[in-house]
Structure 1
């Protein structure tokens, strides 16, 4: 409830998931993104006359117009000076604080940028050698005998470490794999202890390695999947239709699909299951794949 112009209709459109209509709404959204990315001073400047950091923000702004929940960035700080890189990462940090997921690749950041990430995945030869918070990177490698010098950029030390010879990289990959296996084993063990019933354990602790001490709870699902295949197809088809229906399933596309189906049905109707009809079937498959 409210007087005229208090945005009651706008609220209903938001609740209904309707897209913004009209020039005014679109301009308002653009203005909000300009202020959000801190590029107000170059809003009326041609793209060729702005700096590299501002170009990066403009590229991000074009993606934000679609209001994505996940944003992928490939080395956004490349070719930027340290000040511009930190400023850009501050903008991305603000977007993350607003509930958006920011996934970015980065080569060799400064210590300030390195500590600004929530999670870090370190790769070597296409394999993961570390996945945790950045503040845990140096203590993790220290447990393997690789100690970082004092007053040293953690990102530089980590990059130097993964650039060592093949023997060091193989050791790092093997250590991460073993730690991951150990973590999964502990998780499964805790899950077993919470889901299995122990029958008359001997001593103070139950021996989970002895099958006689464990009563398994019957499996609730006999099939591999909790729902049937047709139900999965129906859910996925409905989801795809909801996402692309307004854009793809127009009247013209629908009429075109019916026309092509009618023509293909007339041309390849009632073909025999014989060897001489193989070229005809190949033509039919090619026709379907083309259109």
Structure 2
């Protein structure tokens, strides 16, 4: 249970750090790249596994880590944009309502049961994403662009959760968790550098410091997620549901308290539906 609690705390903190990026004018891509190299350093330095870098491509989880690394850098960019443009609560809900994707994958890959409550929960999850992205007094032309980042975040986060669970279950030994996490972040950082080279911008101290803070928070959010998946006896749908509803609630609360985010009637309804959705899925 302690791993689950720590995962919720660090995962919620990611949205807050992204919101602070906007306040301190930190470039999202540069911050994310630094973040991944910091997370890589933490993972490698805390790993108890003795290894040579030349052996990493032979690991059974390497190609899975490579795929996840690409998804990480892409979805993290979208998460940063969503947190800044749509708000912390919207980003948290769009990312965590993606629980419907690993649930469907759990039915297909692990023969987990999909009962009527879970089906209702999936439908409500989609409604929650819609309601939380709605803003007052916006024309249709202005509303559509604001929906795109949360929708992309929803899809991308779902793919990451599904892939992470599958790779961790089938290819990552318990003693490789820290190493796997570190290499995953290192690969994401390298891919980020490639993105940066296509459109380079001046590197500032703020970008580096912001990325370092994000790297610490990000590493432990994934590390404790993997540790929780190792030790928890629940089905993946139940685990992700409890984890995600806690993150939605905590992130929304932090967004309102620290950033004075305003939730209109539709947004509040979306938050309520999100919580009900995840509770139904977990039942």
Give TM-score scaled by structure 1 length.
0.21
Structure of greater relative contact order (alpha carbons < 8 Å, 6+ residues apart) = 2
Report the structure number with the largest CA radius of gyration: 1
Query: Which is richer in strand?
Result: 1
Query: Which is richer in helix?
Result: 2
Give TM-score scaled by structure 2 length.
0.21
